[in-house]
Structure 1
Amino acid sequence: MNENEHLKRGEKGAWLSITAYLVLATAKLIVAYIGDSEALRADGLNNATDIVASVAVLIGLKISRKPPDSDHHYGHTRAESIASLVAAFVMITVGIEVVWNTVSTLLNGETSTPSMLTAYTAIASAFVMLGVYRYNLQLARKIQSSSLYAQSKDNLSDCLVSFGAFVGIIGAQFGAYWLDPVTGVIVGLIICKTAFEIFRDASHTLTDGFDQKELTNIKGSIQEVQGVKKVRDIKARKHGKHILVEATILVNPSLTVEESHEISDNVEDYLDNEFGVTHAHIHIEPYKKKT
């Protein structure tokens, strides 16, 4: 399956999230208003922000499918990371709003007992989002999509948020009236935490950050390729799901240009097969014992 097919499949995951969030956000906000539940209201607002985040992911996936052009020689796959950043900003904005409103409710003593309808809505939503999470996680791993993986993490947090809202509502039924708004505060904090994690991962990729352990592993593997005497320098970065590597390797100085080039080709093939490195720039230098 080629890259465009992978990205098309990723769009299906984004559409699934959008549909689920649209239905659940509408149902939760209506039921929360009728049943008077701060926790379910916070959960509904959380899903409303997820609609915007999912649309951002969908747009990012569509842009990523564009082929390289005169201005983007490596393609447009970093649009996925930008989409993840947009999603993070939207989520943290609403998370802060949810925390602020529910804390105000607690301080003002505006507590009440929500109806059981809100509890049923929350637990049903938790199971729906669990199914969406499992689907998107498996799809993200299969097509190696960073934005869809971020989406699946958000799906899981939404599942936990809905379950937490259910617990808070049930607690209020037994006289712990404060538990419903407190759950709303916890929901807001979870939204902020998830947004921060997505922002951290996306910004790390966009600033050419790369896991040091993985880079060390790649360097050690290159040195095992026949003909490579030493790896003097190595750099790597991610471009969407692609890994780009630049390395300087030392080879026997008595080799011909053709023989040295063959070693370079072998290194590139090895990196592609073992680590999925789609672009490698290998620089050859002569090996000297005192180097």
Structure 2
Amino acid sequence: MNQYEEIKQGEKGALISIGAYIGLSAIKLGAGYWFASGALVADGFNNLTDIIASVAVLIGLRISQKPPDKDHPYGHFRAETIAALIASFIMATVGLQVIINTVRSLFSGEQTVPSLTSAWVALFAAACMGAVYLYNRRLANRINNQALHAAAKDNLSDTLVSIGAAIGIIGAQFGLPWLDPVAALAVGAIICKTAWDIFYSSTHALTDGFDANELMTLRSTIEGTKGVKSIKDIKARVHGSNVLIDVIVQVDPGLTLIESHRISDEIEQRMEGKHNIMSVHVHVEPHEEPYPGSGSLH
């Protein structure tokens, strides 16, 4: 299965998430207003933002399947990252709105005890989203798709949000009516936190940021390749769900061009086999031993 077929497989997870979010947001908003649960209403709005985020992921996955052209020689894989960035702004806006509305209701002094039925609705939603999370996580691991990994994490956070909403509703049944709006505040905070995480990872990727620890792991694999004397320089960046590597390796200056080329092929094969990285640009230079006594003179 090539990378374009893997992205096509990832669409299934995005479509399942969209269907689940549409159904659950309608149920939560309807039940939340009917049974007077601010936490459930906030959770419903959370799922509305998740619909937008999942649609953005789906659009990004479809655009990223376009083959390279003269304007995009590396392909369109960064469409996934741009879509996620847009979704983070939408999620942050809704999260802040939930927090503002809940704070207003707390200071207004109008606190009602929600029906216990709304807690069962929240727990049912948590079970549904838990199942979607497990499906998307397994699919993301199988096809190694970063966008779907992010969607799965969002599914997990929604599962926890619904459980938190149920706890707030149940607590309100025991003479703590303020616990429901407090749970709504927590939901709003989780929405904002998820939006920030997506924003940070997206901007980090778009500015060619790369995790230093992961780069060290990649460097170690290349250094362990037979024939590599040393690494002069190595750089990596994320392009959608793909990693692009540029590395300068030093080899025995007595090797022929064909032998040096074989080392380059071995590096590419090891990076694909161990790290699923298929875009590696290897530049080979002769390794120069330091001259005796070339150190600093005292």
Instruction: Please classify the TM superposition score into its range, dividing by the shorter chain length.
Output: over 0.9
Q: Which residue of 2 aligns with 1:172?
A: 172
1:147 equivalent to 2:147? Answer: yes
Name the CA distance, whole Å, in 2 between partners of 1:266 and 1:17.
Answer: 40
1:108 corresponds in structure 2 to: 108
Q: Structure 1: which amino acid aligns with 2:134?
A: R
User: In structure 2, what is the equivalent of residue 124 of structure 1?
Assistant: 124
1:250 is paired with a residue whose SS is strand
Q: Name 2:89's counterpart in structure 1.
A: 89
In the alignment, the residues of structure 2 paired with residue 5 and residue 256 of structure 1 have an alpha-carbon distance, to the nearest angstrom, of 38
For residues 260-271 of structure 1, the aligned pairs below 5 Å read 260-271=260-271
C-alpha distance in 2 between matches for 1:154 and 1:218: 28
| Partner SS, residue 231 of structure 2 | strand
SS of 1:253's partner is coil
Shift of 1:7: 1.5
Unaligned runs of 5+ in 1: none
Distance across 2 between alignment mates of 1:157 and 1:181:
19
Q: Which amino acid in structure 2 is aligned with residue 21 of structure 1?
A: Y
Q: In structure 2, how many angstroms separate the alpha carbons of the residues matched to 1:2 and 1:217?
A: 24
Q: C-alpha offsets along residues 162-219 of structure 1, whole Å, 9 cap, x if unaligned?
A: 1111111111111101011111001000111111111111221111111111211222
> Hey, what does 2:210 align to over in structure 1?
210
Q: Could you state the TM-score of these two structures normalised by the residue count of structure 2?
A: 0.94
**In structure 2, distance between residues paired with 1:188 and 1:105:** 14
Match of 2:186 in 1: 186
Conserved 8 A contact 2:147-2:241:
no
Q: For residues 255 and 32 of structure 2, what CA distance do their matches in structure 1 show?
A: 75
CA deviation vs aligned residue, 1:20-57 (integer Å, no higher than 9, x gap): 11111111111111111111110111111111111101
Pick which of 94-103 and 195-204 moved more: 195-204
The percent of aligned pairs where both chains have the same amino acid is 52
Q: What is the alpha-carbon distance in structure 2 between the residues aligned to residue 283 and residue 8 of structure 1?
A: 33
Contact 1:83 1:147 in 2 (8 A): no
TM-score (norm 1): 0.96
Partners in 2 of 1:107 and 1:260 — Cα distance? 72
Secondary structure of the 1:277 match is: coil
Alpha-carbon distance, 1:220 to partner: 2.1
The aligned residue for residue 290 of structure 2 is: 290
Moved over 4 A (4+): none
Aligned length: 291
Write out per-residue CA displacement over residues 248-284 of structure 1, whole angstroms, 9 at most, x where no aligned residue.
1111112222222222222222222222221111111
**Equivalent residue, structure 2, for 1:31:** 31
1:16 partner amino acid = I
Give, as a single letter, the amino acid of the residue that structure 2 aligns with 1:181: P
Superposed displacement of residue 156, structure 1: 0.9
Whether the 8 Å CA contact 1:80–1:146 is kept in 2: the answer is no
Q: Which residue of 2 aligns with 1:51?
A: 51
Matched AA of 2:167:
V
Question: Superposition RMSD on alpha carbons, in Å?
Answer: 1.3
- In structure 2, give the amino acid aligned to 1:32: G
Q: Which residue of 2 aligns with 1:241?
A: 241
SS at match of 2:234: strand
Q: Distance in 2 between matches of 1:147 and 1:222?
A: 27
Q: Distance in 1 between matches of 2:257 and 2:48?
A: 60
Distance 2:274 2:133 in 1: 28
Residue in structure 2 matched with residue 136 of structure 1 by the alignment: 136
Return the letter of the residue paired with 1:263. I
Instruction: Give matches, 1:5-16, under 5 Å.
Output: 5-16=5-16
Q: Aligned letter for 1:275?
A: H
- Which amino acid is the alignment partner of residue 177 of structure 1? P
C-alpha deviation, 1:236, in angstroms: 0.8
Bigger shift: 89-98 or 78-87?
78-87
> What SS does structure 1 have at the residue aligned with 2:278?
strand
Does the 8 Å contact 2:102/2:184 carry over to 1?
yes
Greater displacement, 157-166 / 212-221: 212-221
Q: Which ranges of structure 2 fall in alignment gaps of 5 or more residues?
A: 292-298
Q: 1:228 to 1:74 in 2, by over 3 A?
A: same
Counterpart of 2:295 in structure 1 is: none
> By how many angstroms is 1:5 displaced?
2.3
Aligned match of 2:21: 21
